[in-house]
Amino acid sequence: MIRTDEEIQALEEKAKDIRVTIIEMLVAAGSGHTAGPLGMADIFTTLYFDVLKHDPKNPTWDERDRVVLSNGHIVPVQYAALAHAGYFPIEECLTLRKFGSRLQGHPERLKLPGLETTSGPLGSGLSQASGMAYAFRMDGKKNHVYCMMSDGEQQEGNIWEAVLFAGKNRLSNITAIMDRNNIQINGDTEDVMPLEPLADKYRAFNWHVLEMNGHDIPAIISAIEEAKTIVEKPVLIIAHTIPGKGVPEIEGDYRWHGAPPGKGPTDKVPADKQKEVFLNDIRTMGGKIPNEYA
Q: Provide the pairing of β-strand 66-69 with 183-184.
A: unpaired
Q: Write down the mean pLDDT value for the chain.
A: 95
Q: Give the whole-angstrom CA distance, residue 77 versus residue 198.
A: 25
Q: What does pTM read for this prediction?
A: 0.95
pLDDT band at 288 (very low <50, low <70, confident <90, very high): low
Which domains, and CATH codes, for the chain?
5-284 (3.40.50.970)
- Alpha helix ranges (H) inside 99-175: 125-138, 157-168
Q: Is the pLDDT of residue 290 over 50?
A: no
Q: What is the DSSP letter of 47?
A: I
What count of other Cβ atoms lies within 10 Å of the Cβ of residue 219? 17
**What proportion of the chain, given as a percentage, has pLDDT over 70?**
97
Report the pLDDT value the prediction gives residue 294, as an integer from 0 to 100. 32
Report the pLDDT value the prediction gives residue 287, as an integer from 0 to 100. 53
Report the pLDDT value the prediction gives residue 293, as an integer from 0 to 100. 33
**137-156 mean pLDDT:** 97
Give the chain's radius of gyration (CA, Å): 18
Q: Give the whole-angstrom CA distance, residue 213 versus residue 215.
A: 6
Q: Is the pLDDT of residue 188 over 70?
A: yes
**225-240 mean pLDDT:** 97
Encode pLDDT of 192-223 as tens digits: 999 999 999 999 999 999 999 999 999 999 99
DSSP string computed for 271-283: GGGHHHHHHHHHH
DSSP string computed for 197-265: SHHHHHHHTT-EEEEEETT-HHHHHHHHHHHHT--SS-EEEEEE--TTTT-TTTTT-GGGSS--TTSS-
